[in-house]
Amino acid sequence: MTAKRHHVRGFFAGLFLGLGVALLLFVLGVLPMTVAWLGIVTLVGIVLGVVLAYVAPVRAT
């Protein structure tokens, strides 16, 4: 038996979540709107998404 993981889906999950959170932090005035912050927050989201795909618990079929 092996686990079927979704790394690409995790990548896009992190990408969208990172971009969304970055925009919300900008609009809330928590972070200044700069390309650097947009990149950092998005990158963190992508890393979390991919890591999630790797460590997600395996469910029985």
Partner 1 sequence: MNRTIRHLSLVTLAAAAVLVPSAAALAADATGCSGSVVSMTADGAKLDAATAPGAGGTADNPLKLDPGGTVAWTGSSTTAITGGTWSVSALGVTLLSGDAANTEKKTSADGTTDLSTIPALKVLLSGSTKIPVSGTITGTGGSCTASGYVAGTGSLTSAPLFWIGSVLALLGLLLGVSVLTGTKAVATTAAVTSGGAAS
Q: Residue numbers of the site for partner 1 (CB under 8 A)?
A: 1-6, 9-10, 12-24, 26-29, 32-35, 45, 49, 52-53, 56-61
CA–CA gap between residue 5 and residue 22 (Å, rounded): 27
Shortest distance, CB of residue 56 to partner 1, whole angstroms?
A: 4
Nearest distance from residue 13's CB to partner 1, in Å?
3
Least Å from the CB of residue 26 to partner 1: 5
Q: Which helix (H) or strand (E) holds 40?
A: helix 35-55
Evaluate whether 50 touches 7 at the Cβ level (below 8 Å). yes
